[in-house]
């Protein structure tokens, strides 16, 4: 066993034990612990900013781009808003204990399916140190121990934040019995420590990667722990023959340009040929005015010869930038086939006034979210009213789409009888 | 690409396409297809029995034990009951389309979370050829294409059964539009073909192993497709200090001996010391009369010196035989700790008349099913009123405990607006 392995197993073992202690605790206990964490973060602002400064200095010395340094930096104001987010999580309902299904069986047995925590949730993430607190708070609220593996670039910040949270938990332990070990940082910054986490089937119940496509693909490929795949969004807006053009323009512009670096931003616009002449000139002008580079197929080019010719790669790319691929199709089914071929099954939108077109699109498009006459940007736990989200699942097992607190739980069947035996 | 790989990809590709066609179909279409399958199975009894005879002959020549040959054998009567099971599946409600959650958001968007099929379900299983039909029917009913990899010992039977089902689907296609390709057998009997299935992330949405512990562990270890782990059950009965001794005897005997080869049979009995003198002599006598070999710790031995001394291995073993490990504990918490250490988290039972003991046991024991004053043998989709089950999940993600038709689905968010964009 290497030192890294030994250190990892020690920390993961503590998380495992903490999970067992945490699981049966009441909502009140968990909320008290969360409030204590929020207060401790604010109270320890100075120490947190100091630790963060080490990361920022290292990033500057390594010549990281300014945008990355900005994402990394913690200020007193940002720490205040991180603490506020924890307070908001405390206010959300506790999913644990919810009876999902229940019945009396013919033989008189009482069957209840009850939400329980998953156990230990591993989270591998990049960049922003606020994720450290956010993920830990969501895990704690849902009764799970958190085993966090942040970016090496934020290691000093993350170490300090986890330390502050652990001390806060220890201070209210007598009231709450929430174990201080419930929030753990995977020790070390090397690749080996991430691999430990991905192989820790005995310690970790689920692994959630949060970050870019390459991080997520690495985790999916290398992890033997069950993974919930999040994030990649090659999202489409389809403007149907029966679309209201005003709504179509507004939805397309909002889906593309309201915020471009996020997974629910649109990357490809598909336009029915029957509406292309009326719709495309307007939407392309608006998008161009906002600074969007347009990549069109031949038929788009025939309407607007200033578009960049689209290649196969454009259809397949999640730009996350001020770029949009545009294609004219001759039917809803052609749009659906395009989506089937290129989509990452995150979010697709149809703009139409036709009931039958909407129904067919919803039924044939196999994505986590399908929007009818609404922007793709609405696929979001906050927008859906979940109060918070740990990520947006791109997969079909366990959770699909925005994952709130209930998606961070499993269930247990509780069956109550009075000496019942099976015939 | 090897021949096996090419053949596999062809078949898996057909399943993938069939899944897309199957997903939007109505319950009526799927039920008509299922009835057609049931009728075709009965009508083709002779051909099925003939194909099965090849497998049986091969098994006899290989000197397989009589019990295994019995499990393999199909008779006209067994085929009739396989067909009846398909008809029963047709009568179950369709999980697809069920609205799991729904609300109107503050901005007027209408949010619905709707059940949709998973897509392609891979099933790796052993022995009995009835699983071929049962799994295919459950997949079809839940709108999923089935990619089946049965035991090589049943390959002739399985090929014939899948052929009969495919032809039945083709014959009613004009009425149902259920694609004949929705039920596929992985070609070949070698290890390589199973590995193809376990690596087919592009084609298969989930893989469900059905069979013994070694099969399941192999699939969990080697599969890059998400797996739902099923089956292993090292189940415990804990007889509390406050137990009614009559009920405790009945529940223990039923949990152990009603049927021993199944995952929900009890393998270890934990007895509170306060009740041991009253309870153990009675239950051990009854169990011994039924032919159960008892493996006891020192304190059990002190009460009944005919028990075999229990070793560490006894606590960890899923006997699946007429054996029971027995241990005396001094508290409920000691029982819980024993269970935490050795259980496979399938089913544990407490026998007690104490509300607080029951509550504490239910809250601390982290298993798919926790029985209060009822036999462990009740953990079963049929007993739970699910109508059918594809297996009993031992894991926490996606589905836990008996998996019925709803557990064979995912969900999709459908969001309907009227030109809604995000601020």
B155: alpha, beta or left? (left if phi > 0; alpha if psi -120 to 50): alpha
B315 lies in some domain = yes
Cβ–Cβ of B224/A224 closer than 8 Å?
Answer: no
A110-125 as b/e: b if 16+ CB within 10 A: ebbbbbbbbbbbbbbb
Rounded CA separation A212/B372 (Å): 46
Query: Mean of the pLDDT values across residues B26-38?
Result: 98
- The residue of chain B nearest to residue A252, with distances taken between CA atoms, is B421
With 0-12 CB in 10 A as exposed, 13-18 as middle and 19+ as buried, what is A70?
Answer: exposed
Q: What is the pLDDT of residue B293?
A: 98
DSSP letters, A303-352, are H-TTSEEP-HHHHH----SSEEEEEEESSHHHHHHHHHHH--SSEEEEE-
B157 and B181 together in one domain: yes
For residue A92, which of A149, A126, A143, A152 has the smallest C-alpha distance? A143
**For A144-170, what is each residue's pLDDT tens digit?**
999 999 999 999 999 999 999 999 999
Q: What is the pLDDT of residue B74?
A: 97
B191 Cβ contact partners less than 8 Å away, ≥ 6 residues apart = none
Residues of B with Cβ-Cβ distance to A395 under 8 angstroms: 226
> Are the C-beta atoms of residues A160 and A168 closer than 8 Å to each other?
no
CA distances from A272 to A82, A240, A337, A355, A357 (A): 45, 5, 13, 16, 12
B398 lies in some domain = no
> Are the C-beta atoms of residues B316 and B234 closer than 8 Å to each other?
yes
pLDDT band per the 50, 70, 90 thresholds, residue A211: confident
Residues of B with Cβ-Cβ distance to A383 under 8 angstroms: 105, 422
Rounded CA separation A336/B24 (Å): 13
**For B45-55, what is each residue's pLDDT tens digit?**
999 999 999 99
B245 and B210 together in one domain: no
Q: If you ran DSSP here, which 8-state letter would residue B285 be given?
A: H
- In this predicted structure, the answer to whether residue A29 has a pLDDT above a threshold of 80 is yes
B194 and B340 together in one domain: no
B266 and B124 together in one domain: no
Distance of residue A108 Cα from the nearest chain B Cα, in angstroms: 11
- The residue of chain B nearest to residue A336, with distances taken between CA atoms, is B20
Query: Mean of the pLDDT values across residues A262-278?
Result: 97
Query: Mean of the pLDDT values across residues A6-32?
Result: 96
**For B80-102, what is each residue's pLDDT tens digit?**
999 999 999 999 999 999 999 99
For residue A268, which of A242, A241, A295, A243 has the smallest C-alpha distance? A295
**For A125-141, what is each residue's pLDDT tens digit?**
987 899 999 999 999 99
For residue B119, which of B408, B413, B412, B388 has the smallest C-alpha distance? B408
**For A319-344, what is each residue's pLDDT tens digit?**
999 999 999 999 999 999 999 999 99
Helices (H), strands (E): how many in chain A?
16, 16
With 0-12 CB in 10 A as exposed, 13-18 as middle and 19+ as buried, what is B138?
Answer: buried
A390 lies in some domain = no
- In this predicted structure, the answer to whether residue A96 has a pLDDT above a threshold of 80 is yes
Helices (H), strands (E): how many in chain B?
16, 16
B172 and B239 together in one domain: no
- The residue of chain A nearest to residue B386, with distances taken between CA atoms, is A105
Cβ–Cβ of A417/B374 closer than 8 Å?
Answer: yes
A397 lies in some domain = no
> Are the C-beta atoms of residues B392 and B231 closer than 8 Å to each other?
yes
B155-174 as b/e: b if 16+ CB within 10 A: bbbbbbbbbbbbebbeebee
> Are the C-beta atoms of residues B266 and B255 closer than 8 Å to each other?
yes
Rounded CA separation A133/A41 (Å): 9
Cβ–Cβ of A372/B20 closer than 8 Å?
Answer: no
Q: Say which residue, A225 or A244, is predicted with more confidence.
A: A244
A180 and A257 together in one domain: no
Q: What is the pLDDT of residue B232?
A: 86
Residues of B with Cβ-Cβ distance to A420 under 8 angstroms: 251, 373-375, 378
CATH number at residue A369: 3.40.309.10
**For A99-115, what is each residue's pLDDT tens digit?**
999 999 999 999 999 99
Rounded CA separation A166/A185 (Å): 11
B287 Cβ contact partners less than 8 Å away, ≥ 6 residues apart = B252, B253, B256, B257, B294, B324
Q: What is the pLDDT of residue B387?
A: 87
Q: What is the pLDDT of residue B224?
A: 85
B52 and B161 together in one domain: yes
- In this predicted structure, the answer to whether residue B196 has a pLDDT above a threshold of 80 is yes
**For B198-252, what is each residue's pLDDT tens digit?**
999 889 999 999 888 888 888 888 888 889 988 789 999 999 999 999 999 999 9
pLDDT band per the 50, 70, 90 thresholds, residue A264: very high
CA angle A207, A48, A124 (to 5 degrees): 10
Q: CB distance from B205 to chain A under 8 Å? A: yes
**For B308-361, what is each residue's pLDDT tens digit?**
999 999 999 999 999 999 999 999 999 999 999 999 999 999 999 999 999 999
pLDDT, averaged across chain B: 95
A216 lies in some domain = yes
**For A285-324, what is each residue's pLDDT tens digit?**
999 999 999 999 999 999 999 999 999 999 999 999 999 9
A385 lies in some domain = no
CB atoms within 10 A of CB A167: 14
Q: CB distance from B316 to chain A under 8 Å? A: no
Please give the backbone phi and psi of residue B256, each rounded to the nearest 5 degrees, phi first. Answer: -85, -50
Nearest by CB to residue B398, choosing from A250, A398, A412, is A398
Range of the domain at B283: 235-378
pLDDT band per the 50, 70, 90 thresholds, residue B126: confident
Share of chain B above pLDDT 70, in %: 100
pLDDT band per the 50, 70, 90 thresholds, residue A97: very high
pLDDT, averaged across chain A: 95
B19 and B122 together in one domain: yes
Say how many CA atoms lie within 13 Å of A418 toward its Cβ: 5
Q: If you ran DSSP here, which 8-state letter would residue A384 be given?
A: T
Number of domains in chain A: 2
Rounded CA separation B188/B312 (Å): 41
- In this predicted structure, the answer to whether residue B127 has a pLDDT above a threshold of 80 is no
> Which 62-101 residues of chain A touch chain B by CB within 8 A?
none
Q: If you ran DSSP here, which 8-state letter would residue B386 be given?
A: -
| Helix ranges, B142-261 (H) | 155-171, 173-176, 191-198, 213-222, 245-257
Rounded CA separation A15/B340 (Å): 15
Residues of A with Cβ-Cβ distance to B119 under 8 angstroms: 366, 396
DSSP letters, A263-299, are TTSEEEEEEEHHHHHHHHHHHHHHHHHTT-EEEE-HH
Residues of B with Cβ-Cβ distance to A254 under 8 angstroms: 421-422
B314 and B173 together in one domain: no
Q: Is B97 helix (H, G, I), strand (E, B) or coil?
A: coil
Lowest mean pLDDT among A97-101, A217-221, B146-150, B383-387: A217-221
Q: What is the pLDDT of residue A405?
A: 96
pLDDT band per the 50, 70, 90 thresholds, residue B169: very high
CB atoms within 10 A of CB A379: 28
For residue B270, which of B261, B283, B258, B285 has the smallest C-alpha distance? B283
> Are the C-beta atoms of residues A420 and B374 closer than 8 Å to each other?
yes
Radius of gyration of chain B (CA): 24
Please give the backbone phi and psi of residue B177, each rounded to the nearest 5 degrees, phi first. Answer: 60, 15
Please give the backbone phi and psi of residue B412, each rounded to the nearest 5 degrees, phi first. Answer: -140, 135
Beta strands A409-420 and A110-117: pairing type? Answer: antiparallel
Share of chain A above pLDDT 70, in %: 100
> Which DSSP helix (H) or strand (E) runs through A235?
strand A235-239
> Are the C-beta atoms of residues B349 and B376 closer than 8 Å to each other?
yes
Cβ–Cβ of A383/B250 closer than 8 Å?
Answer: no
B335 Cβ contact partners less than 8 Å away, ≥ 6 residues apart = B236, B238, B270, B272, B329, B361
A62 lies in some domain = yes
Q: If you ran DSSP here, which 8-state letter would residue A224 be given?
A: -
CA angle A263, A269, A274 (to 5 degrees): 155
- In this predicted structure, the answer to whether residue A393 has a pLDDT above a threshold of 80 is yes
B246 and B160 together in one domain: no
Q: What is the pLDDT of residue B213?
A: 80
B136: alpha, beta or left? (left if phi > 0; alpha if psi -120 to 50): alpha
For residue B367, which of B395, B325, B403, B391 has the smallest C-alpha distance? B395
Distance of residue A398 Cα from the nearest chain B Cα, in angstroms: 3
3-state helix, strand, coil in chain B (%, to 5): 50, 20, 30
Q: CB distance from A266 to chain B under 8 Å? A: no
Q: What is the pLDDT of residue A115?
A: 98
Rounded CA separation A408/B35 (Å): 39
- In this predicted structure, the answer to whether residue A118 has a pLDDT above a threshold of 80 is yes
Q: Is A62 helix (H, G, I), strand (E, B) or coil?
A: coil
Residues in chain B: 423
- The residue of chain A nearest to residue B384, with distances taken between CA atoms, is A105
pLDDT band per the 50, 70, 90 thresholds, residue B177: very high
Q: What is the pLDDT of residue B4?
A: 86
- In this predicted structure, the answer to whether residue A359 has a pLDDT above a threshold of 90 is yes
**For B149-166, what is each residue's pLDDT tens digit?**
999 999 999 999 999 999
| Helix ranges, B189-331 (H) | 191-198, 213-222, 245-257, 273-289, 298-303, 312-316
Tokens 């945490």 identify what position? A22
CB atoms within 10 A of CB A102: 12
A206 and A334 together in one domain: no
CATH number at residue A126: 3.40.605.10
Tokens 């609220």 identify what position? A141
A332 lies in some domain = yes
**A:B CB pairs within 8 Å:** 204
Distance of residue B72 Cα from the nearest chain A Cα, in angstroms: 26
- In this predicted structure, the answer to whether residue A231 has a pLDDT above a threshold of 80 is no
A187 and A250 together in one domain: no
């Amino acid at each position: 066993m290497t030192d890294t392995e030994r250190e990892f197993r020690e920390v993961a073992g503590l998380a495992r034990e903490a999970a067992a202690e945490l699981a049966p605790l009441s909502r009140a206990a968990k909320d008290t612990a969360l409030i204590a964490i929020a207060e401790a973060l604010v109270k320890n602002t100075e120490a947190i900013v100091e630790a963060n400064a080490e990361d920022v200095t290292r990033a500057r010395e390594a010549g990281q781009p300014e945008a990355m340094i900005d994402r990394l930096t913690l200020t007193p104001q940002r720490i205040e808003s991180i603490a506020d987010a924890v307070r908001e999580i405390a206010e959300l309902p506790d999913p644990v204990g919810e009876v999902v299904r229940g019945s009396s069986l013919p033989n008189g047995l009482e069957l209840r399916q009850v939400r329980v925590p998953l156990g230990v949730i591993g989270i591998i993430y990049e960049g922003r140190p606020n994720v450290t607190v956010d993920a830990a708070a969501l895990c704690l609220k849902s009764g799970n121990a958190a085993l966090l593996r942040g970016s090496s670039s934020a290691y000093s910040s993350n170490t300090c934040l986890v330390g502050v949270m652990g001390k806060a938990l220890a201070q209210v332990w007598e009231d709450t019995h929430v174990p201080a070990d419930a929030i753990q940082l995977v020790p070390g910054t090397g690749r080996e420590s991430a691999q430990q986490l991905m192989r820790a089937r005995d310690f970790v119940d689920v692994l959630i990667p949060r970050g870019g496509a390459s991080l997520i693909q690495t985790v999916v490929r290398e992890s033997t722990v069950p993974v919930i795949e999040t994030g990649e969004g090659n999202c489409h807006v389809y403007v149907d023959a029966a679309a209201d053009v005003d709504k179509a323009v507004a939805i397309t512009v909002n889906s593309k340009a309201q915020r471009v670096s996020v997974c629910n931003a649109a990357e490809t616009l598909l336009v029915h040929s029957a509406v292309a002449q009326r719709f495309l000139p307007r939407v392309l002008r608006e998008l161009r005015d906002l600074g969007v580079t347009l990549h069109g197929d031949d038929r788009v080019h025939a309407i607007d010869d200033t578009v960049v010719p689209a290649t196969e790669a454009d259809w397949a790319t999640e730009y996350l930038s001020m770029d949009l691929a545009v294609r004219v199709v001759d039917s809803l089914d052609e749009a659906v086939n395009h989506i089937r071929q290129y989509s990452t099954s995150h979010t697709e939108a149809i703009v139409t006034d036709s009931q039958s077109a909407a129904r067919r699109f919803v039924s044939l498009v196999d994505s986590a979210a399908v929007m009818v006459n609404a922007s793709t940007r609405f696929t979001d736990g906050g927008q859906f009213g979940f109060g918070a989200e740990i990520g947006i699942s791109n997969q079909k097992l366990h959770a699909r789409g925005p994952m709130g607190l209930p998606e961070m739980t499993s269930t247990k069947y509780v069956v109550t009888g009075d000496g019942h035996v099976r015939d």
